[in-house]
């Protein structure tokens, strides 16, 4: 099995409505996002997927969130946790990759880091 990873970053604000503590107040993060692709077959050039294409798709998706208040996005149901952000990015990447003629089944996981030591991951089940 082959796997590849690309990363992107975005900055955004949020608060967690159903959390009791400092994260219930508006605050921001410089998020780091990792896209993992996985598969058993390489193309004729010996690649699982083009890094540039993957990184471009990831940047396009994270640009939708960059410099925003994530609570304004109804998909997060006013609780934009790292887990919900990872799921949102994963689903948006499936659509983006498909439109770029990249098999969306290659998308294996999305990791969202709120800090260098705190991360949530959504992966294909």
- Indicate the length of the chain as a whole number: 125
Show Cβ contacts of residue 12 under 8 Å, excluding neighbours closer than 6 positions: 28, 29, 31, 65, 66, 67, 68, 69, 70
Give yes or no: 114 in active site: yes
The answer to whether residues 124 and 107 touch, using CB atoms and an 8 Å cutoff, is: yes
> Which superfamily is assigned to 2-123 in CATH?
6-pyruvoyl tetrahydropterin synthase/QueD (3.30.479.10)
| Domain coordinates in residue numbering, the chain | 2-123
Tokens of 69: 């208040």
Find the radius of gyration of the CA atoms of the chain: 15
24, 67, 83, 123: which is the annotated catalytic residue? 67
Give yes or no: 23 in active site: yes
pLDDT digits (tens, 9 = 90+) for 52-89: 999 999 999 999 999 999 999 999 999 999 999 999 99
Reported pTM: 0.95
């Amino acid at each position: 099995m082959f796997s590849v990873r690309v990363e992107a970053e975005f900055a955004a604000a949020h608060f967690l409505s159903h959390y009791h503590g400092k994260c219930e107040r508006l605050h921001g993060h410089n998020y780091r996002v990792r896209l993992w692709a996985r598969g058993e077959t390489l193309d004729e050039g010996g690649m699982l997927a083009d890094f540039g294409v993957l990184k471009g798709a990831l940047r396009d998706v994270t640009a939708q969130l960059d410099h925003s208040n994530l609570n304004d996005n109804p998909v997060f149901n006013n609780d934009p946790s790292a887990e919900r952000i990872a799921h949102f990015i994963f689903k948006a990447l499936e659509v983006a990759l498909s439109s770029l003629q990249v098999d969306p089944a290659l998308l294996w996981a999305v990791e969202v880091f709120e800090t260098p030591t705190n991360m949530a991951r959504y992966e294909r089940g």
